[in-house]
Amino acid sequence: MDSRFDEVYTHPENEIFRVVFYPDRIYHARYLNATRSSRYRYYVAEVRGSADGTAIKGDVFLGGTKLCPMLRIEYSGIRLVEQAREFNRRLGPRTKAWLKVTGEDPADSAEAIVTLHWDPAIGAYAAEIWETLEPPDGTAHDHRVLPLMGRNAPITRVPQLSPLLGSVSEVAMAFREDGVLYPTGQRLGNPQWDNAYLRSHQEPRTQEPSDPRNTVADSNYLLDFQRGFFIPDASQIAPVNYRNAMTDEGNPERRDDNIVQMRWLFQRELGSDLVFFHEVTVPPGAVEGTHRHIGSEELYYVVSGTGTAYLSDGDDPTTANYPLVERPVFGIGPVKCRELPVKPGSVLYTKSGGVHGIRNPGTEPLKFVAFLYHTT
């Protein structure tokens, strides 16, 4: 990270907008494996995170001289704890990480299983993958760091990943139990995975509404190290069509021509717990069915057209003066909702447990953009 950020960190403008913010700054002082010896220094180039996992890429220096590039993986294990708990197990001092590392050329990638070790200094499992564990000629590793090095050790070398560590563009990750029951050492026949569970992403492979070919199963978390994205014209991105989105059989609004379009602008590119950012077009007479969010939050921002949105009665107390109607809620049944007029600039924000939906009774398309993210 550029050292000039140390000066701007305390500027009034930064206090307002926080251009320099966690985690880009904090990782310079944060505990990393070899820092127990003052002979080692790290240059952290980039940090990316998704859900419980973090990838840190950078370089390791020994005695002031660059030793090699490295990739550090950290995993808090919260989701895997829940998976193991289903079998009355708890996580031990190690977990496994499946990694797929991609270089600057998208066709250049490699996979490996890496052992992560519980690190009480950061409250997470971690491993550092160094391009080499060999010190420069005429030097030796510090005796305080050397015991951490080796195959399946906290500092390790993975031959198939080594050629890519200096040019990492993406890291796909999934995590599983170590395979050994803690603390007895009994082998596990069914180690559980945290592999993003049923997460998927959407691609416009066909324009047939609600075609399963448009849903791509991932079974991993993706950390993208690209630093910027520019879409000159979102309208040129092919949409995915959905018939009767969020409507059950028996819903009077469910019909063959009730088709909503979604342009998926960003999905797996997003970090943290963000799931997607997309543009939705509700044609005249169409409806995105009213539905409830559990464990996620979503924000709608209307950009064009007019329509009618719905929030469950009481979700926002300030809507108590709007008409009260009964809406069929996807998978749940009828729920009392407030009927809300929306236009360009209207915002609908729904937290976990909340109900929302939107309908276009007009003659012009209704468009809004939406963020969805997990709350846990």
Question: How many domains would you assign to the chain?
Answer: 2
C-alpha pair distances (Å), 264 with each of 238, 290, 318, 344: 9, 20, 32, 20
Same domain, 64 and 170: yes
pLDDT computed for residue 342 by the predictor: 98
Is there a domain that residue 214 lies in?
no
DSSP state of 21: -
Kindly write down the DSSP assignment for every residue of 156-172, as one continuous string: E--TTTGGGTTS--EEE
Cα angle value 25/271/128 (rounded, 5°): 60
Same domain, 187 and 235: no
pLDDT computed for residue 187 by the predictor: 93
pLDDT computed for residue 325 by the predictor: 98
Same domain, 237 and 354: yes
Chain segment 18-33, per-residue pLDDT in tens: 777 765 556 655 689 9
Distance CA 58, CA 56 (A): 7
Is there a domain that residue 319 lies in?
yes
Which of 194, 217, 251 lies at the terminal end of a domain, its last residue?
194
Same domain, 160 and 37: yes
pLDDT computed for residue 374 by the predictor: 85
Distance CA 75, CA 111 (A): 18
Same domain, 157 and 62: yes
Distance CA 260, CA 300 (A): 15
Which of 194, 218, 244 lies at the terminal end of a domain, its last residue?
194
Provide the domain limits for residue 343. Answer: 229-374
pLDDT computed for residue 199 by the predictor: 86
> Which positions of the chain have pLDDT values less than 70?
1-2, 22-30, 376
Q: Is the pTM of the predicted complex or chain greater than 0.85?
A: yes
pLDDT computed for residue 51 by the predictor: 87
Same domain, 60 and 170: yes
pLDDT computed for residue 3 by the predictor: 72
Same domain, 233 and 134: no
Same domain, 249 and 300: yes
